[in-house]
Amino acid sequence: MQEVRIESIDLNTKERLEVEKFLSTFNLFFDRDIEYTIVAKKGEDILGTCSCSGKVLKCFAVQEGLQGEGIASKLLTHMTNFLFDRGIYEFFIFTQPKNLPIFKGLNYREVYTVKEVSLLEGGVANVKQYIKKMYEKSGLQDTKRAALVMNCNPFTLGHRYLIEIAAKQNKEVVVFIVQEDRSIFPFEVRLNLVKKGTEDLKNVHVLPGGNYIISSATFPSYFIREQSQRTKAFVKLDAGIFSHYIAPIFHIDKRYIGTEPYCPMTKQYNKALLNILPKNGIQVVEVTRISKDGKAISASEVRNLIKKEEFEYLKELVPKTTYEYLISREAQPIIEKIQRSDIL
C-alpha cells in the first residue's frame, strides 16, 4: 500500500495549478502572497495541502472523509519544521470557524473568532503574554489613555494633525504603527518617521503594533470571495482583538480615527470601529482630516507626488522630518521603487 508523502511544490509550474484545482473543490482560492506550499499525496493524488506567507499559514485543506487519518497533522508538522528552520517560532492561522476543532486538536490556540473567520496561534505565540510584554517594554504607567493605529506610508501632516488633536484632548496618547512589512515604506522607516515627527508632543508614545494589530494586507482572501465581505470580516476580527486584549492591558478608553473621503475600505473600517468599539467600552473619536487646496491630505497623494517627482509641493503635505528623509540618499531606493511601480 502506498504511503502518504508530503512534498513541496514549485509555485512556477503546473503543480500550482493542480493545487489551485484541489482548493477550488472546497470553494477556496490560492492567495497571491503565498511563499511556500506543500501537498500530501498518495500516488499522484493530492489528499491535502497547506501554504504559508511569512508566519501566516493559509490555504489549508484536506480531502473530505480523510480528516481523521493524520493528514492534517503531517501537513502542519512539516510546515512547523519548515518555519522553525527559517527561524520562525510563532505562527498564525486564519481559518473558517468550522475548522477550529481540527486545529485545536493539533495544539493550536484560538485567539479570536467572529462569524466569518477565526485566528489561531501556534508555536511560542501567546497573545496575552505578548501584549503584556509590549506594555512592560513601553514604560507606560497605569493611567487611562487614547490610542491611534496607523500605517503611515509615509507619515504626513494629516497623520500629524490627528495625533495633535488626540494629544490636546488626552493626558496620554499611544500610537501603534502597523508592523508588517507590506508597505512601500518599510516598518522601521515608518516607525522612525512618526517618532521624529512627533518628538515635540511629550504625551505621545509611538510603539510598534506587534503581531496582533492585523494588517489588511496579511488578512487572507482564500476563503472569503467578495472584497466587501473580506473587509467586514477583517475589521470585526481586528476590532475584537484590540478590544479584548490590547485596550485592557494598555488602559485605552478612546481610539481616534480620521474621516476617509477616498478609500472605500478605510471608510468601511471606520464605520465598523464606530459600531464595535463602543460596545466594548472604548469611545471612538472621528476627526475631520485636514485638506490642502480642497483635497484631504493622504499618504497615497504623497506617493503620487513622489512618482511624478513633484518634491517641492511635498513640503506642504509632510512634516519637515519626513521631507528631509524623502530627499535623502537613504530614501533613494524607495523613491525609485515608487517611480517604477504602477501601484501606489
- 3-class secondary-structure state, position 109: strand
Q: What are the cell numbers at 313? A: 509641493
pLDDT tens for each residue of 49-63: 999 998 999 999 998
Q: Which helix (H) or strand (E) holds 128?
A: helix 127-138
Q: What is the mean pLDDT of residues 23-36?
A: 89
pLDDT at 67: 61
Alpha carbons within 13 A on the beta-carbon side of 252: 30
Q: Percentage of the chain surpassing pLDDT 70?
A: 94
CA angle 309, 315, 321 (to 5 degrees): 110
- Cβ neighbours of residue 25 closer than 8 Å, sequence gap 6 or more: none
Name the band, by pLDDT with cuts 50, 70 and 90, for residue 1. very low
Q: Above 80 in pLDDT, residue 65?
A: no
Name the residue with cell 485638506.
291
Tell me, yes or no, if the pTM score tops 0.75: yes
**Beta bridge partner(s), residue 174:** 147, 205
pLDDT at 142 over 90: yes
CA angle 37–43–44, rounded 5-degree value: 55
**Mean of per-residue pLDDT scores for the chain:** 90
* Residue 318, pLDDT above cutoff 50: yes
Query: What average pLDDT does this structure show over 302-326?
Result: 94
Amino acid at 198: T
In the DSSP assignment, the letter for residue 114 is -
